[in-house]
Amino acid sequence: MRYFLCLLLTIPLLPCQAETITFDEGNPIINMGNSGRSDYRINGFNDPVLALHSGVSYTVNRTSGGHPLVFAFNDTAFPNAVTYSGNLEAGTAFRQSSVLRSGDPGWLFRVDPNASEQFTFPAELEGKEVFYYCEISGHPGMIGKITIGPPVTDSVPPVINSLTFDGGTLTLAITGTPNTDFVVKSTTDLAGTAFLTTENTNPAVITTNNSGNASLTLDTAARPALFLRVERAP
């Protein structure tokens, strides 16, 4: 009985977590209904966190009448464009700021009841506070959080494009997934399939640029045979 009582006492101390729903280029349609005047409903959840990506053309559908929808954000020049009380992460927040209108700092776009709008979030919104909420002032509980992440890039297998040898120093040009860290592994014997040695390259970790290109140098140390492979950095 004591153990059961202890369990009951600890349950209310568990933090309440919001439901997070991800929409990306392969899933760009967001259908938003509502539960009366208290919450927006998305995929069966009340005011969930929406995890979105910049550069994706999203379609936002208001699937019910009433409750026109506003998307807005805070920035350093207007940090209080949208303010709220309560727990936004848990979907239990209440908007405290005034409703923004087109042209106001922080206003992004509006979706009418039973209507649709398309919008592409720019990269400048990545990491900023972004919100959706009801345009009706008397419905402050209809508010949710949006996170804007960078575009999802397809993984590109790393490839060594060219090698230049000069007095024991080898220069490599590689391509791979943009903005990704790689290392060079090596072996002196292809009898096995394992590349166990991590080369001391310059730089030690190679980071591709926005186009997926990078270059590096390494010392061959007079090794008569050397086989190289580029791998994603651990």
pLDDT tens track for 117-174: 999 999 999 999 999 999 999 999 999 999 999 887 667 788 888 888 888 899 999 9
User: Is residue 122 packed enough to be buried (19+ CB in 10 Å), middle (13-18) or exposed (0-12)?
Assistant: exposed
For residues 174 and 143, membership in a common domain is answered with: no
Q: Which of the listed residues 149, 176, 208 is the one where a domain comes to its end?
A: 149
For residues 47 and 113, membership in a common domain is answered with: yes
For residues 77 and 112, membership in a common domain is answered with: yes
User: Is residue 70 packed enough to be buried (19+ CB in 10 Å), middle (13-18) or exposed (0-12)?
Assistant: buried
pLDDT surpasses 80 at 9: no
For residues 21 and 117, membership in a common domain is answered with: yes
pLDDT at 161: 87
For residues 174 and 75, membership in a common domain is answered with: no
Where are any strands of DSSP class E within 54-194?
57-62, 69-73, 84-85, 94-95, 107-111, 116-120, 130-134, 143-149, 159-166, 169-175, 181-187
| CATH number for the domain harbouring residue 68 | 2.60.40.420
For residues 128 and 224, membership in a common domain is answered with: no
List, in sequence order, the alpha helices (H) in the chain. Answer: 2-10
Name every residue whose Cβ is closer than 8 Å to that of residue 65 and which is 6 or more positions away in sequence.
Answer: 113, 114
Q: How many domains does one find in the chain?
A: 2
215 is a domain residue: yes
For residues 87 and 170, membership in a common domain is answered with: no
For residues 22 and 138, membership in a common domain is answered with: yes
1 is a domain residue: no
For residues 62 and 169, membership in a common domain is answered with: no
For residues 172 and 137, membership in a common domain is answered with: no
Q: Which of the listed residues 124, 149, 174 is the one where a domain comes to its end?
A: 149
76 is a domain residue: yes
For residues 143 and 190, membership in a common domain is answered with: no
104 is a domain residue: yes
For residues 79 and 143, membership in a common domain is answered with: yes
pTM of the predicted structure, to 2 decimals: 0.63
Digit-coded pLDDT (tens) for 159-201: 888 888 888 899 999 998 888 899 999 988 887 678 889 999 9
Digit-coded pLDDT (tens) for 77-110: 999 999 999 999 888 999 999 999 999 999 999 9
4 is a domain residue: no
Residue 20 belongs to what domain range? 16-149
